[in-house]
Amino acid sequence: MIIEQHQINDFTTSVKQNMIICFGCFDLIHIGHISMFENLKNIVSTLIVAVANDEAVQKLKGVNRPIIPEEERSVMLDAVRYVDYVFIQRAGDVTTLKKKYNFNDKETIIWENCMYPLSLLTPKYVAISSDFVMTPAMKRFFSDENFQIIVVPYFDRQSTSKIVAKILNTDA
């Protein structure tokens, strides 16, 4: 089900105790994503996927991204049988979080688009890719909020970047 970010406040405490959230661009959905969703769904009953908005993807991946607009990515993710809820990440006001955790300006996009929704939802579990490097401020945030981190192995056989590179190197 596609929901708006503000609706994550509506989940009850009991539901939050058996849910996991994962964040990503999901620009081109591939087997690595599906495998991750299946594995996460085997851990908990409710899987929430937070889709990076177009502006954030462009800042993180470059001017030629995203390839697929955020609304379409959301619809495709909603069609995946392992995914229970999808929302598009909207940058939030992280002034209070900045004062508390003193993160640097380079991290702001992550805090606005990931930590902010987490501060609203407060699920028991948060999925993080094994290739994601957490800063000391992020580690303190996760510890303070008592999130259980589920480290998802990076699926190096396939990635959106590899798919894009293959397409660009192939004659049509």
> For position 40, which CATH number holds?
3.40.50.620
Q: Catalytic site residue 16?
A: no
Q: What is the per-residue pLDDT for 20?
A: 95
Which entry of 16, 59, 98, 124 is annotated as an active-site residue? 59
**Cβ–Cβ < 8 Å for 47, 20:** yes
**59 noted as active-site residue:** yes
Give the number of domains in the chain. 1
Residue type, 47: L
* Cross-strand bridge partners of residue 23: 50
Task: Give the other-Cβ count within 10 Å of 76's Cβ.
Answer: 17
Q: Which pLDDT band, with edges at 50, 70 and 90, does 161 fall under?
A: confident
Please report the pLDDT score of residue 9 as a whole number. 84
Question: Per residue in 76-129, pLDDT tens?
Answer: 999 999 999 999 999 899 999 999 999 988 889 899 999 999 998 889 999 998
Q: At which residue do the structure tokens 């991750």 appear?
A: 36
Residue 172 has pLDDT above 70, yes or no: no
Catalytic site residue from 61, 98, 124, 162: 61
Looking at residue 171, its pLDDT comes to 59
Domain ranges, residue 108? 5-168
What would the pLDDT profile of 48-91 be if each residue is shown by its tens digit?
Answer: 999 999 999 998 888 888 999 999 999 999 999 999 999 999 98
Tell me the average pLDDT across 138-150. Answer: 93
- pTM of the predicted protein model: 0.89
- Token pair, residue 144, equals 């303070």
**Which burial class, exposed, middle or buried, applies to 9 when counting CB atoms under 10 A from its CB (0-12, 13-18, 19+)?**
exposed
Contact 47, 82 (CB under 8 A): yes
The answer to whether 76 touches 112, Cβ cutoff 8 Å, is no
CA atoms of 41 and 120, how far apart (whole Å): 22
Work out the average pLDDT over 22-46.
92
pLDDT at 28: 87
Q: pLDDT band at residue 154, thresholds of 50, 70 and 90?
A: confident
